[in-house]
């Protein structure tokens, strides 16, 4: 399977060596991606002598030989490597070509470089087709090494840096690997809703989605332009009704003609309608609509309070209880005011759900999935992984290899706690006290996976008191069939469980935890009608990226990070 995927992924780069380079051009552009040339076993040397169009951005450029020509290191984002490009002075304005960040499209001939050069092929330019210049004095990304922290302030340009573009390619590879893994195993991808009126965890800090504020402001503007009627206006309107009513009575007592009476009645009707409209308008209040002192959500877009989802699990369960094996992969949200390097307000989650499955099947699936992701990166992203390894984390490639090839350790929560207590006895210091019943802290998780076992560990059967209501109660009545996958570097990567499929048990668990039943009636229906054993888990996609790359801050592994006080673009 890994071999299949490798073939699929590197198809563009794997032309036979006597093939024409122009056959490798992007189908929807005249240019040839740089990756198609240099990411070959011969480094592109087999193409020497051939003509090609290349586009990209200058990484570094310098003039040489008394400005007779310039060397440009060109990158187009298709791979971490650059193509060395040589431009003679009569082919273009060298001064405009050399600044870092300049965009160029050039036609040229691929040549073998002088003996001893690092590159295996280089391009001698025949024509500069396009030039998108950069004023180095104003460019926010100077050639000097920039910190990842600095780059967070220029999210719209940071994908032009080596690190962020490598992360983007690794992220892309993990996303496609995710789909490929689940599709190969017969899972159906289900788009669970982003806007939700259910709350998965019962609590959780959620973002509200509303049009009430903008509607309130619109009304406020409208009322300024066209004020609501005053008391006097309303009185005047009532007076007109009285006059019109009197007129009708007078015409009737005077036995006037039907036409005359009819006309007066029509006038009275119009006066009443007008007064009603004025009265309604007089009730308009600028700002958010209220009823009985509370916000009137019946006037909100969805006629009730709505939020951004914190998990697609509950909804995807409804699909699992019909289509058997499903998964969701989408954005989720937490309005938590945490300023750590591990939390985002918007992040992506992969959540498979398997019907006809128990906890053991869930663990098997999670282990196979994580291994598949690791092997995929080794097969498809070796150039990017090598870059990351050189720049940030020398151990990242070995970590992928180890996880891809080592069976995960599986221990119960109770065993885990015993191991931790033993460690404390042997002198290990933890900040958080260890005893049966605690939620394992990150330091405990990392001790188990990094020190004790030195490989991925699945901890299962957690105390029911620290886990969600939907997790299946074990026969001991103390623990639930939950499991967490712990990996070196990040600790918890996956959390999952077998779901409680027994109607009576889940009903009393909801009550026991003090949650209201009504919002979960639909969820209970899945147990009421044709209930099935099922299980699933969630993988935090950015956690997987931190694990794979060894980067420290989650804000650097998502293209546009959202956290308290920041949502650029």
Q: Between residue 38 and residue 77, which ones bind its own copies under the rule CB under 8 A? A: 55-58, 76-77
Residue 12: both structure tokens together: 């563009």
Residue 11: CB partners within 8 Å, gap ≥ 6?
A: none
Among 106, 306, 385, 400, binds its own copies (CB under 8 A): 306
Within residues 504-523, the interface with its own copies by CB under 8 A covers 522-523
Residue 353: both structure tokens together: 């759900």
Task: Supply the DSSP string of 28-89, one letter for each residue.
Answer: TSSSPPHHHHHSSTTTTGGGTT-EEEEEEEEEEEEEETTTTEEEEEEE-SSSS--EEEEEEG
Residue 351: both structure tokens together: 């959540």
d(CA 455, CA 491): 11
Among 275, 308, 385, 487, binds its own copies (CB under 8 A): 308
| Beta partners for residue 487, in sequence order | 491
Among 160, 399, 472, 543, binds its own copies (CB under 8 A): 160
Q: What is the nearest approach in angstroms of its own copies to the Cβ of residue 13? A: 9
Q: Which backbone phi and psi does 457 adopt, to 5 degrees?
A: -130, 135
Q: What is the nearest approach in angstroms of its own copies to the Cβ of residue 354? A: 6
Task: Supply the DSSP string of 262-317, one letter for each residue.
Answer: HHHHHHHHHHHHHHHHHHHHHT--SSS-EETTEE-GGGSTTSS-EEE-S-SHHHHH
Within residues 439-498, the interface with its own copies by CB under 8 A covers none
Would you count residue 325 as binding its own copies (CB under 8 A)?
Answer: yes
Within residues 359-378, the interface with its own copies by CB under 8 A covers 361-362, 364-365, 368
Would you count residue 150 as binding its own copies (CB under 8 A)?
Answer: no
Question: Which one, 235 or 521, has the nearer CB to its own copies?
Answer: 521
d(CA 103, CA 90): 19
> Interacting stretch for its own copies, rule CB under 8 A, among 90-98, 100-108, 227-235, 490-498?
100-108
Q: What is the nearest approach in angstroms of its own copies to the Cβ of residue 8? A: 7
Lookup result for tokens 């922290």: 149
d(CA 166, CA 161): 8
Q: What is the nearest approach in angstroms of its own copies to the Cβ of residue 567? A: 4
Would you count residue 227 as binding its own copies (CB under 8 A)?
Answer: no
Question: Which one, 237 or 316, has the nearer CB to its own copies?
Answer: 316
Within residues 395-434, the interface with its own copies by CB under 8 A covers none
> Interacting stretch for its own copies, rule CB under 8 A, among 39-47, 307-315, 382-390, 436-444?
307-315
> Interacting stretch for its own copies, rule CB under 8 A, among 97-105, 271-279, 431-439, 490-498?
97-105
Site size toward its own copies, by CB under 8 A: 126
Instruction: Give residue 338's Cα distance to chain centre.
Output: 18
Q: What is the nearest approach in angstroms of its own copies to the Cβ of residue 50? A: 19
Lookup result for tokens 């032009």: 160
Residues in the chain: 569
d(CA 314, CA 357): 16
Question: Which one, 103 or 438, has the nearer CB to its own copies?
Answer: 103
Within residues 260-289, the interface with its own copies by CB under 8 A covers 288
Question: Which one, 112 or 288, has the nearer CB to its own copies?
Answer: 288
Contact 143, 60 (CB under 8 A): yes
Lookup result for tokens 């005893």: 435
Question: Which one, 447 or 563, has the nearer CB to its own copies?
Answer: 563
Among 315, 375, 449, 498, binds its own copies (CB under 8 A): 315
Among 95, 142, 186, 465, binds its own copies (CB under 8 A): 186
Within residues 104-143, the interface with its own copies by CB under 8 A covers 105, 130, 132-135, 138-140
Among 384, 484, 500, 501, binds its own copies (CB under 8 A): 501
Among 314, 448, 490, 546, binds its own copies (CB under 8 A): 314
Question: Which one, 160 or 244, has the nearer CB to its own copies?
Answer: 160
Residue 504: CB partners within 8 Å, gap ≥ 6?
A: none
Q: Dihedral of the CA atoms 191, 196, 197, 202 (nearest 10)? A: 90
Contact 470, 506 (CB under 8 A): yes
Q: What is the nearest approach in angstroms of its own copies to the Cβ of residue 53? A: 9
Among 84, 163, 196, 549, binds its own copies (CB under 8 A): 196
Within residues 544-563, the interface with its own copies by CB under 8 A covers 558-560, 562
> Interacting stretch for its own copies, rule CB under 8 A, among 142-150, 242-250, 320-328, 391-399?
320-328
Residue 23: both structure tokens together: 């056959």
> Interacting stretch for its own copies, rule CB under 8 A, among 156-164, 249-257, 428-436, 475-483?
156-164
Among 276, 466, 513, 567, binds its own copies (CB under 8 A): 567
| Beta partners for residue 130, in sequence order | 105
d(CA 219, CA 225): 10
Contact 229, 275 (CB under 8 A): no
Contact 238, 246 (CB under 8 A): no
The backbone region for 55, taken as left when phi is positive above 0, alpha when psi lies in -120 to 50, beta otherwise, is: beta
Among 78, 82, 389, 461, binds its own copies (CB under 8 A): 78
Would you count residue 168 as binding its own copies (CB under 8 A)?
Answer: yes
């Amino acid at each position: 399977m890994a071999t299949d995927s490798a073939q699929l992924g590197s198809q563009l780069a794997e032309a036979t060596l006597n093939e024409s380079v122009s056959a490798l051009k992007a189908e929807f552009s005249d240019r040839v991606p740089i990756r198609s040339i240099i990411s070959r076993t011969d480094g592109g040397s087999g193409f020497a002598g051939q003509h090609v169009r290349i586009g990209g951005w200058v990484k570094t450029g310098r003039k040489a030989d008394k400005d007779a020509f310039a060397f440009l290191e060109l990158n187009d984002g298709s791979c971490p490597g650059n193509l060395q490009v040589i431009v003679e002075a009569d082919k273009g304005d060298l001064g405009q070509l050399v600044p870092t960040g300049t965009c160029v499209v050039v036609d040229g001939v691929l040549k073998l470089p002088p003996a001893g050069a690092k590159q295996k092929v280089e391009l001698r330019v025949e024509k500069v087709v396009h030039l998108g210049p950069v004023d180095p004095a104003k460019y926010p990304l100077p050639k000097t090494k920039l910190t990842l922290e600095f780059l967070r302030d220029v999210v719209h340009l940071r994908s032009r840096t080596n690190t962020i573009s490598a992360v983007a390619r690794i992220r892309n590879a993990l996303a496609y690997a995710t789909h490929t893994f689940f599709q190969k195993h017969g899972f159906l991808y289900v788009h669970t809703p982003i806007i939700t009126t259910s709350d998965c965890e019962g609590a959780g800090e959620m973002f509200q989605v509303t049009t009430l504020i903008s509607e309130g402001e619109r009304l406020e503007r409208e009322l300024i332009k066209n004020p609501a009627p005053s008391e006097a206006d309303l009185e005047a309107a009532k007076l007109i009704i009285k006059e019109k009513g009197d007129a009708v009575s007078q015409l009737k007592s005077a036995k006037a003609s039907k036409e005359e009476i009819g006309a007066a009645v029509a006038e009275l009707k119009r006066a009443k309608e007008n007064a009603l409209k004025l009265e309604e308008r007089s009730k308009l209040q600028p700002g958010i609509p209220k009823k009985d002192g509370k916000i009137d959500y019946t006037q909100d877009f969805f006629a009730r309070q709505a939020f951004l989802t914190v998990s697609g699990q509950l909804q995807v369960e409804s699909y699992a209880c019909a289509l058997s094996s499903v998964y969701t992969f989408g954005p989720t949200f937490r309005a938590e005011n945490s300023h750590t390097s591990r939390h985002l307000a918007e992040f992506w989650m992969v959540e498979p759900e398997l019907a006809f499955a128990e906890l053991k099947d869930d663990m098997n699936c999670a282990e196979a999935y994580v291994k598949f992701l690791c092997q995929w990166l080794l097969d498809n992203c070796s150039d990017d992984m090598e870059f990351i390894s050189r720049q940030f984390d020398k151990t990242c490639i070995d970590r992928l290899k180890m996880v891809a090839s080592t069976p995960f350790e599986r221990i119960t929560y109770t065993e885990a706690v015993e191991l931790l207590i033993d460690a404390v006895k042997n002198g290990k210091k933890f900040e958080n006290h260890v005893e049966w019943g605690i939620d394992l802290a990150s330091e405990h998780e990392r001790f188990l996976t990094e020190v004790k076992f030195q490989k991925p560990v699945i901890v299962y059967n957690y105390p029911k008191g620290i886990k969600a209501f939907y997790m299946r109660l074990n026969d001991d009545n103390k623990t639930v069939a939950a499991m967490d996958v712990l990996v070196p570097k990040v600790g918890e990567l996956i959390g999952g469980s077998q779901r409680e499929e027994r109607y009576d048990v889940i009903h009393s668990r909801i009550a026991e935890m003090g949650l209201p039943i009504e919002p979960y009636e639909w969820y209970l229906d899945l147990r009421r009608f044709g209930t099935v054993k099922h299980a699933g888990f969630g993988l935090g996609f950015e956690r997987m990226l931190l694990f794979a790359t060894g980067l420290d801050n989650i804000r650097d592994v998502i293209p546009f990070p959202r956290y308290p006080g920041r949502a650029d673009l």
